[in-house]
Amino acid sequence: VPGIELTTPVWTVGAIGADLGRRLGQMGLGAVGQLIAHLPSRYEREEGEAPIAELAVGTVVSARGEVTATRLAGFGRKRRFEAVLMDETGRLDLVFFNQAYLHKRIHPGQRLRVQGELRRHGELMQLANPRFELIGDDEPEAREARVRPVYPASEAVPSRQIEGAVAAVLDEALPLIEDHLSETFRHERNMPSLREAYRMVHAPADEDEPGAARRRLAYDELLLLQLGLEMRRTHLRSKLRAPALRWDEEVQQRVRARLPFELTPAQERVLGEIAGDLSGEVPTNRLIQGDVGSGKTAVALCAMLMASASGKQAALMAPTALLAEQHAASIGAMLEGSRVRVELLTGSTPAGEREALLADLDAGRIDILIGTHALLTETVRFGELGVAIIDEQHRFGVHQRARLRAKAEDEATTPHVLVMTATPIPRTLAITLFGDLDVSVIDELPPGRRGVRTRVVGRDQREKVYAFVRRLVERGGQAYVVVPTIEAEGELENLRTVLEELQSGALGGRRVAALHGRMARDERAHVMGRFRSGLIDVLVATTVIEVGVDVPNATAMVVEHADRFGLAQLHQLRGRVGRGSRASVCVLIGEPTTEEGRQRLDAMRASGDGFVLAERDFELRGPGEVFGTQQSGLAPMKVADLRRDLDLLKLARRDARAWIAASPELGRPDEALLRRRLFKAHGEDLGLGDVG
Ligand code: ADP
Ligand code: MG
């Protein structure tokens, strides 16, 4: 029989067999290598066999003995099969509920090996529903205590069968696993070899081994990603040049004159960091973090004006058309009467207009282009893009960043890239997803903010809530009401129902309007414009208003079915109020049906700090949910847990930096395997194709 390879189909392995092999294949474990890469989710301790008299109550025990009596007892749901097992030292009572058929399999005189949790039942020592096997003529050896893997399983393939299949190929498969880290490197970090690690996860000799193996495998995942990020960053810095932009006295004065307020010290500091980057030729790749309302737009505008002042173009990409429209309106207003030309490009820009706009853009006649991901389409070409800014980064992934950069990239030049996010990214994630970015934090809100009081109420309080909104509106205030979705969906009110209910009820006679993502751009702009100038009192909206919408006179945010929203989303929604100098309130109406939902609303009530909430969200839902694969643009981690592995992540990051500094393209022969695995895992996601 020829030996197995990691690519060998499992159904051709004799010890696994065609039937189990086929079912494993359906689970995505069709090749030996895939089977080995399928890791246990936990372990069970199995005690070694001992004489009956020495078994300890309350533990999982193993014993063997002779069946001396059996009987069927009880009726109906209490029907059970009982057997007495004896060895030289004592007696053990076995009871099997709902397994009357065992009466035909287990008989006095047979020898059994049993395993289960030992209970005291009056005078008796009892095992309920123990595992058992009949001992034949060739008495098997007494089993030693061991740690047993429990695998993520399916209905068709229980953990036990996966365990058997893994055991069948493990010894032959292990020697085939090559390590991409050298022995010296591993030794310095106290890490086992890959072979050893896979042996320890599948067949641990003791309770500590799975942990040691897990550490190595998690480290590998983190290291590969960090190497990829670092490789790209180094490539960018050493091979590509960005235009050095002006930030001299004259430019500073002209730019500041356009802002309707003084920048806060935090904005000044971050602007200083950005200007430092942008005035050099090393391509900037910087993340600007700032809680909702901290004033990121003003800082972005300064960066864009640096480009215009230097004869270059700037792009601002927003996650929604509404936000892009709003940026275009407010930035357009600030630049009124200047020579800077600002244009808007979204998916709904009419074809004719779009064509003319693209021609002007290519010819360098547009200074600032604001838009949605429509900016990423092929046909959008800039004459000389100096700065690309992505607003609300969590909606965009690594991919988009690379594509936007490519808009002006040729062999040697690339724009400076800034990404801004209000959804604060927990530290571990920031390092993981944005490890290639420098980070600036605007950690202060503009002066005079009064904060937002948050109330969580049940649906029975709705009338009171809307009576409050009515009184607010009567005093000249404005409010938002957010409804989860515009489709009728089970018991969810849709937008129109809520709108009509309010118009004919609590807010009768007031100016109430709807806003949602399906509206045409003009219509939406019209409604937003009227709301901003106070001609609409209450905006009943979907989450299109989640990010960026900025109307300082609006001081109440009511969220219907608040338990259906994620924490980050709720925090964003709340951030739409509290933007002026008047006290604001956020009312979350919800009756959470899950514990997690309740915790989310509690967290909202307890904290107004986006960073605290982001950490909490991360704990509650994990990175996969907070930043889905699609959003992050990266494959999810299988072993590493970003909630627990911060130290390991730091180690991986430090190692990756040093490694790439010494070998920027991983081109040495002894790095070939590592490089191959890195490109396989992240080459496409990270756009490493052009590196080296
Ligand atoms: P975000 O960081 O959430 O994008 P914005 O840029 O939309 O915040 O700013 C929020 C509000 O604060 C806007 O109305 C903006 O005009 C105002 N603002 C920004 N910076 C300042 C400042 N330094 N002083 C006063 N108001 C400011
Ligand atoms: Mg913003």
Check if 550 has its Cβ closer than 6 Å to any atom of ligand 1: yes
| Structure-model confidence comparison of residues 189 and 486, the more confident one | 189
Point out the ligand 1 atom lying closest to the alpha carbon of residue 262: 23
Report CA(547)–ligand 2 centroid distance (Å).
7
Q: Output the residue whose Cα is nearest ligand 1's atom 20.
A: 295
Q: Is the pLDDT of residue 686 over 80?
A: no
- Fill in the amino acid letter for 34: Q
Per-residue model confidence (pLDDT) at position 44: 83
Report CA(312)–ligand 2 centroid distance (Å).
23
Q: 426 with 616: CB under 8 angstroms?
A: no
Per-residue model confidence (pLDDT) at position 681: 85
Measured CA to CA, the distance from residue 516 to residue 536 in angstroms comes to 15
Strands 42-46 and 146-150: antiparallel
Least distant ligand from the CA of 449: 1
- Quick one: average pLDDT of 506-511? 93
- Of 267, 288, 294, 572, best ligand 1 pocket probe by most atoms within 8 Å of the beta carbon: 294
Measured CA to CA, the distance from residue 380 to residue 174 in angstroms comes to 51
- Of 297, 331, 394, 395, best ligand 1 pocket probe by most atoms within 8 Å of the beta carbon: 297
Residues 6+ apart with CB under 8 A from 14: 1
C-alpha torsion 421→427→433→436, nearest 10: 90
Check if 298 has its Cβ closer than 6 Å to any atom of ligand 1: yes
Check if 579 has its Cβ closer than 6 Å to any atom of ligand 1: yes
Q: Is the pLDDT of residue 205 over 70?
A: yes
Measured CA to CA, the distance from residue 359 to residue 365 in angstroms comes to 9
Least distant ligand from the CA of 293: 1
pLDDT digits (tens, 9 = 90+) for 657-667: 999 999 999 99
Least distant ligand from the CA of 552: 1
Residues 6+ apart with CB under 8 A from 151: 38, 39, 40, 41, 159, 162, 163, 166
Q: Output the residue whose Cα is nearest ligand 1's atom 26.
A: 446
Q: Is the pLDDT of residue 625 over 60?
A: no
Q: Which pair of tokens denotes residue 73? A: 């007892």
In this structure, what are the phi and psi dihedrals at residue 313, rounded to the nearest 5 degrees?
-100, 165
Q: Output the residue whose Cα is nearest ligand 1's atom 27.
A: 446
Per-residue model confidence (pLDDT) at position 631: 41
Report CA(106)–ligand 1 centroid distance (Å).
78
Check if 422 has its Cβ closer than 6 Å to any atom of ligand 1: yes
Check if 300 has its Cβ closer than 6 Å to any atom of ligand 1: no
Q: Which of 339, 312, 321, 482 is nearest to 414 (CA)?
A: 312
Q: Which secondary-structure segment (H or E) carries 526?
A: helix 521-532
Check if 295 has its Cβ closer than 6 Å to any atom of ligand 1: yes
Report CA(571)–ligand 2 centroid distance (Å).
13
Measured CA to CA, the distance from residue 186 to residue 564 in angstroms comes to 46
Report CA(416)–ligand 2 centroid distance (Å).
19
Q: Output the residue whose Cα is nearest ligand 1's atom 19.
A: 295
- Of 255, 258, 261, best ligand 1 pocket probe by most atoms within 8 Å of the beta carbon: 261
Q: What percent of the chain stands above pLDDT 90?
A: 56
- Quick one: average pLDDT of 357-367? 95
Point out the ligand 1 atom lying closest to the alpha carbon of residue 297: 6
Measured CA to CA, the distance from residue 22 to residue 533 in angstroms comes to 66
Q: Which of 636, 611, 687 is nearest to 290 (CA)?
A: 611
Check if 292 has its Cβ closer than 6 Å to any atom of ligand 1: yes
In this structure, what are the phi and psi dihedrals at residue 390, rounded to the nearest 5 degrees?
-110, 120
Measured CA to CA, the distance from residue 505 to residue 656 in angstroms comes to 62
Q: Which of 338, 339, 258 is nearest to 300 (CA)?
A: 258
- Quick one: average pLDDT of 265-283? 96
Q: Output the residue whose Cα is nearest ligand 1's atom 16.
A: 295
Map residue 6 onto helix, strand or coil.
Answer: coil
Structure confidence at residue 623 as a pLDDT band (50, 70, 90): low
- Fill in the amino acid letter for 578: G
Q: Which of 675, 660, 623 is nearest to 645 (CA)?
A: 623
Scanning the structure block, which residue is given the tokens 């790749």? 285
Q: Is the pLDDT of residue 629 over 50?
A: no
DSSP letters of 202-255? HS-SSSSHHHHHHHHHHHHHHHHHHHHHHHHHHHHHHH-B-PPPP-SHHHHHHH
Q: HSE (CB half, 13 Å, CA atoms) of 423?
A: 24
Check if 290 has its Cβ closer than 6 Å to any atom of ligand 1: yes
Report CA(440)–ligand 2 centroid distance (Å).
15
End-to-end CA distance of the chain: 43
Q: Output the residue whose Cα is nearest ligand 1's atom 9.
A: 295
Instruction: Give the DSSP letter of residue 64.
Output: E
pLDDT digits (tens, 9 = 90+) for 79-124: 899 999 999 999 999 999 888 889 999 999 999 999 888 999 888 8
Report CA(613)–ligand 1 centroid distance (Å).
21
Report CA(671)–ligand 1 centroid distance (Å).
49
Measured CA to CA, the distance from residue 358 to residue 336 in angstroms comes to 22
Interaxial angle between packed helices 595-606 and 610-626, expressed in degrees from 0 to 180 and rounded to the nearest 10:
150
Q: Output the residue whose Cα is nearest ligand 1's atom 4.
A: 296
Per-residue model confidence (pLDDT) at position 467: 96
Q: Is the pLDDT of residue 495 over 90?
A: no
Map residue 635 onto helix, strand or coil.
Answer: coil
Measured CA to CA, the distance from residue 177 to residue 180 in angstroms comes to 10
- Quick one: average pLDDT of 28-53? 90
| Structure-model confidence comparison of residues 586 and 642, the more confident one | 586
pLDDT digits (tens, 9 = 90+) for 180-194: 999 999 999 999 999
pLDDT digits (tens, 9 = 90+) for 129-152: 998 888 877 666 777 777 889 999
Q: Which pair of tokens denotes residue 320? A: 């929604």
Residues 6+ apart with CB under 8 A from 170: 36, 198, 199, 202, 203
Q: 399 with 633: CB under 8 angstroms?
A: yes
Alpha-carbon distance values, 285 to 238, 242, 313, 389 (Å): 13, 11, 17, 10
Least distant ligand from the CA of 571: 1
Q: Which residues pair with 387 in a beta bridge?
A: 314, 416
Q: Output the residue whose Cα is nearest ligand 1's atom 25.
A: 446
Q: Is the pLDDT of residue 432 over 70?
A: no
Report CA(299)–ligand 1 centroid distance (Å).
9
Alpha-carbon distance values, 528 to 481, 494, 531, 536 (Å): 14, 20, 5, 9
Q: Is the pLDDT of residue 276 over 80?
A: yes
Q: Is the pLDDT of residue 270 over 70?
A: yes
Q: Which of 559, 565, 597 is nearest to 457 (CA)?
A: 559
Look at 107-116, 279-288, 431-440, 569-578 and tell me which has the smallest mean pLDDT. 431-440
In this structure, what are the phi and psi dihedrals at residue 120, rounded to the nearest 5 degrees?
-95, 130
Least distant ligand from the CA of 331: 1
Q: Which of 123, 122, 118, 59 is nearest to 94 (CA)?
A: 118
Neighbours of ion ligand 2 (CB under 5 A): 548
Least distant ligand from the CA of 262: 1
Q: Is the pLDDT of residue 306 over 90?
A: yes
Report CA(298)–ligand 1 centroid distance (Å).
7
Per-residue model confidence (pLDDT) at position 154: 87
Structure confidence at residue 675 as a pLDDT band (50, 70, 90): very high
Check if 267 has its Cβ closer than 6 Å to any atom of ligand 1: yes
Report CA(403)–ligand 1 centroid distance (Å).
28
- Distance, C-alpha 48 to centroid of its chain: 42
